[in-house]
Amino acid sequence: MTAGTREALMSFPRRLAGAAADMSWGTRLSALIIILYGFAALFAPWIAPYGESEIVGPPFEPWSRTFLLGTDNLGRDMLTRLIYGIRNTIAISLVATLISFLVGVTLGLLSAISGGWVDAALSRVVDTLMAVPQLIFALLLLSVFGTSIPVLIAVITVIETTRVFRLSRALGMDVAAMDYIDVARMRGERTGWIIRREMLPNVAGTLVAEFGLRFCFVFLLISALSFMGLGIQPPTADLGSMVRDNASLITYGDITPLLPAAAIGFLTISVNFVADWYLKTTAKPDASA
Amino acid sequence: MNNIAWLITRRVTAGLAVLAVVSTLIFLTVSMLPGNFATEILGQDATPETVAALNRELGLDLPLHARFMEWVGGILQGDLGRSLANQRPVSEIIVPRLFNTLFLAVMAAAMAIPLALLLGLVSVLFRDTPADRILNLGTLSTVSFPEFFIAYLLIVLFAVKLRWLPSIANVSATDPLGVRFEKTLMPALVLSLVVVGHMMRMTRAAVLNLMEMPYIEMAVLKGASRWRVIVHHALANAWSPIITVIMFNLAYLVVGVVVVELIFVYPGLGQLMVDAVQVRDIPVIQACSLIFASTYILLNLGADLFALVTNPKLRRR
């Protein structure tokens, strides 16, 4: 990592703290919710009352002192599964989103600054991949390569990289037209240096907000795939398959299976709010300056 | 006029080219697997005879180009191969399910489009009031919560507590139309809730964009009521972006059916595909992907063409 990007990243918490003062209550609540999820994800083994796939009682126990949210279809503690589910789903989404940003931003900025056949070739490939509906693409690939966590991450990374590429190429195009890029070129800087030192700091603000939104999409996509039984495989806990496995409770009017589904929604809404706020307050002044 | 005809031809050619490439990709998925596909499916202890039989069934014993020509030729004649799971011709399995899926998607669209337009206009009319903010939060929620949350919530409400609607939408070809509507209502409702949020926001944005224009100010100054300004003056020019958004959302709808069909046990194409993925029934998966992808590509192409024809700004290039 170079000084320019490091500086941009270092100033990020300071700007965040400064801007937190003018957060609306909705945004503050969202930030709090995200922190709580992060806490649950990081310290799951210490918070959860039982082991991740430990069978602790008869199936479908109602809510009680010993099992705060009852037990699931195999007699595992529902609260424990919920906490581990949050941990696993967040971890996998985060890894997939990070890789797609790493690849997507690099290729997008490269495409923007190189132009010519590099840009044309990359753009055609991305256009074609984006023409296939995401879910169908994922189903097709998962059916061929089987369902394991590395395959899942790879498939989602391919899908997401196309979206990240589109955005960073568009952002990069604006920056690539600036005089300082020409100056850097005439100084004889290498393309990699220009991308890291000149382009990245100028598009970082928008990309951070986009990271939040893309994370939400990935989170929802993984949950949908797991719900179909094609995502994270048992006995690993995850939010989507928890809903599916316990759905029969719903027909008896028990809303416990809705909790993991709601957990997904609250996280995505909160991330949306914070990303929105970040884009409005932090990224805008950057863009106009 | 020559100019626009040329643009349309170019866009259509590009769309068809993408369709061709995507179908080739779908075809190639079978060959993409490292190692032998048949052994991978049948497991390590499969006898050489069964492996050879499966290879012959899939046509994997032929060279790649011959297989491709055969596959394309088959599709053009409506022959999509045979299902590995039950040996029935894929086209025979797919046709009734495709009809069910389209029925569901059309019903959802019929509910979602008017609702989205109305809510969009209402939120413009009451811009920056609590009503607008509530609508905003509502649409954000329908977009952020997974489809299965909304679906089960409606099941708890309408099927379990109120007992108005069935929680399972197992329509069959022999159901009279009324029963079919009743069974399809809940899945259609869920699907439309999922797309309404997006469509409403785009409608709101499209109309708001125009509200800044001088001719709107003129209409306000001459004393037209707010509703009249929005419906007669602003909406007239907002149709083009709105219809484009509707078409993009229809494309989404066709794909969005997958999860919803699964929840309501609705015998459509999406459920068929998920089942096929679970048992790796490749011919069925390929056929379903092909139908989903081509519908999606063609609807997007339609949206692009519509935008091109109605918006002169896009033609100048």
List, as one string, the DSSP characters of B32-79.
Answer: HSSS-HHHHHH-TT--HHHHHHHHHHHTTTS-HHHHHHHHHHHHHTT-
Backbone CA torsion sign across B150, B151, B156, B162 = positive
CA dist B188 → A35, A126, B171, B198 (Å):
36, 32, 13, 16
The pLDDT confidence band at residue A287, using thresholds 50, 70 and 90, is very low
In contact, B252 and B239? CB cutoff 8 Å? no
CA of A219: which chain B residue's CA is closest?
B146
Q: Which CATH number fits domain B90-281+291-299: 3.20.20.330, 3.40.50.1370, 3.40.50.720, 1.10.3720.10?
A: 1.10.3720.10
Q: Where are the domains positioned within chain A?
A: 27-283
- Among B18, B149, B254, select the one facing A131 at the smallest CB separation: B18
- Closest Cα of chain A to B30: distance in Å? 7
B157-202 residue pLDDT tens: 888 778 787 777 777 777 777 778 888 888 888 888 888 888 888 8
From chain B, the residues in CB contact with A142 under 8 A are 277
Chain A residues close to B146, C-beta within 8 Å: 220, 223-224, 227, 240, 261, 264-265
B95 touches chain A (CB under 8 A): no
Q: Mark yes or no for CB contact A128/B21 under 8 Å.
A: yes
Q: With CB atoms and an 8 Å threshold, state whether A272 touches B140.
A: yes
Q: pLDDT tens, B266-288? A: 888 888 988 888 777 778 888 88
Nearest to A238 by CA among A249, A250, A252, A222: A222
Measured N-to-C along each axis, helices A134-145 and B269-279 cross at an angle, to the nearest 10 degrees, of 20
Outline where DSSP puts E strands in B123-276.
none
Q: Is B148 on the interface with A (CB under 8 A)?
A: yes
So what's the ipTM on this one? 0.81
**Domain edges within chain B:** 90-281+291-299
Per-residue pLDDT reduced to its tens digit, A132-185: 888 888 888 888 787 889 999 999 999 999 999 999 999 998 888 888 888 998
Do B140 and A251 count as a contact with CB atoms less than 8 A apart? no
**1.10.3720.10, 1.10.510.10, 3.90.1150.10, 3.40.50.2300: which CATH number matches A27-283?**
1.10.3720.10
Quick one: pLDDT band at residue A39, thresholds 50, 70, 90? Answer: very high
Residue B277, chain A, CB below 8 Å: the answer is: yes
The confidence score (pLDDT) of residue A289 equals 36
Per-residue pLDDT band for A13 (boundaries 50, 70, 90) equals low
Of A55-69, A198-212, B213-227, the poorest mean pLDDT is in A55-69
For B7-41, give one letter per residue: b (16+ CB within 10 A) or e. Answer: beeeeeeebeebbebbbebbbebbeebeeebbbbb
Residues of B in Cβ contact (< 8 Å) with A251: 155, 159-160, 167
A22 burial type by CB count under 10 A (0-12 exposed, 13-18 middle, 19+ buried): exposed
In chain A, the percentage of residues whose pLDDT exceeds 70 is: 90
Nearest to B285 among A127, A135, A140 (CB): A140
Of the residues A124, A129, A132, A276, the best mutation for testing chain B's interface (the one with the most B CB atoms within 10 Å of its CB) is: A132
Contact at CB, A132 and B22, closer than 8 angstroms: yes
B279, closest residue in chain A (CA to CA): A143
Establish, for the pair of chains A and B, how many residue pairs have beta carbons separated by less than 8 Å.
128
Name the minimum distance, in Å, from the CA of B289 to any CA of chain A.
Answer: 6
Q: Is the Cβ pair A133, B280 closer than 8 Å? A: no
Residue type, position A192, single letter: G
